[in-house]
Homo-oligomer: A and B are copies of this chain.
Amino acid sequence: MERRRADIIAETLEERICDGTYPDGERLDEVRLAESFGVSRTPLREALQKLALSGLVEQLPRRGVFVRQPGPVELMEMFEVMAEMESVCGRLAAGRISDEALAELDAANAECRKAVAAQDADAYYLENERFHHIIYRESGNGFLAQETGALHRRLKPFRRMQLRLRGRLPQSMSEHEQIVAALRAGDGPAAADALRAHVAVQGEKFRFLMARLKSAAE
């Protein structure tokens, strides 16, 4: 499918930006990166443009590309949108979800429960991701599922963080169960509210983390 060097490079750079290897504001030097990847500037430039369109880097004409980590304000905005989109997915899915998908959700939740028992936040996140993607898909709207998935991906590192807060795992777990209950009942508004709250609380927790990090830095 994607056998172009440029795409592989874009993927790698995206990962590095998300995991913080390149801090905010860092200039990404074309020639140096090209060397390090063992390619010429051409595919590297294509990769950078791809990143620019995803919003991960800013491209100042004739000046270079700079890593552009979303600030606190933008992050909260993104979490708000994420909450709303998941909410919409849930509302639509409530009327369209199949029995098989409900079983899948149960299975994912069972795995989540195991992870909670094992206090394994990473494993929890993995299954949590599966859980959410099932709902996106069951919205019955491929375009919505894709867009929601894209935003989910972009917020991934930040969503993960807040799971490490004490007591968050069991709380998230119970929210998941409420969501499934609403979906099983075919109650659109309830599913919408439950999902919106579920994601909104993630934003809140994350905000709290940010504030703590900031005050710790001072």
23 A–B contact pairs at CB < 8 A? Answer: A3-B61, A3-B62, A42-B42, A46-B46, A46-B49, A49-B49, A49-B50, A50-B53, A53-B53, A53-B54, A74-B143, A77-B144, A78-B143, A80-B92, A80-B141, A80-B143, A80-B144, A81-B88, A81-B141, A81-B143, A81-B147, A84-B88, A84-B144
A218 is an interface residue with CB less than 8 A from chain B: no
Query: Are B3 and A81 in contact, CB atoms less than 8 angstroms apart?
Result: no
**Chain B residues, Cβ within 8 Å of A78:** 143
Give the chain B neighbours of A4 by CB distance below 8 A.
61
Q: Are B77 and A142 in contact (CB under 8 A)?
A: yes
- Which residues of B sit under 8 angstroms from A118, Cβ to Cβ? none
Which 9 pairs, one residue from A and one from B, show the smallest C-beta to C-beta distance? A77-B143, A84-B88, A77-B141, A53-B53, A81-B144, A78-B143, A3-B61, A81-B143, A80-B141
- Report how far A89 CA is from B18 CA in the complex, Å: 28
Q: How large is the interface on A (under 10, 10 to 19, 20 to 34, 35 or more residues)?
A: 20 to 34
- With a cutoff of 8 Å between Cβ atoms, the chain B residues found around residue A46 in the complex are 45-46, 49
Count of this chain's copies in the oligomeric assembly: 2
Give Cα distance in the complex from A50 to B61, angstroms: 16
Pick from A1, A50, A80 the residue with the most CB of B within 10 Å.
A80
Interface on A for B, CB 8 Å cutoff?
Answer: 1-4, 42, 45-46, 49-50, 53-54, 61-62, 74, 77-78, 80-81, 84, 88, 92, 141-144, 147
> With A and B bound together, what is the CA distance between A1 and B53 in angstroms?
15
A1 touches B80 (CB 8 A): no
- Please report the C-alpha to C-alpha distance between residue A147 and residue B77 in the assembled complex, in whole angstroms: 11
Given the complex of chains A and B, what is the CA–CA distance between A54 and B84 in angstroms? 22
Q: In whole angstroms, how far apart are the Cα atoms of A118 and B144 in the complex?
A: 37
Distance (whole angstroms) from the CB of A119 to the closest CB of chain B? 33
- 18 additional contacts, CB 8 Å, given A53-B54, A84-B144, A88-B88? A1-B61, A3-B61, A4-B61, A42-B42, A45-B46, A46-B46, A49-B49, A49-B50, A53-B53, A74-B142, A77-B144, A80-B141, A80-B143, A80-B144, A81-B88, A81-B141, A81-B144, A84-B88
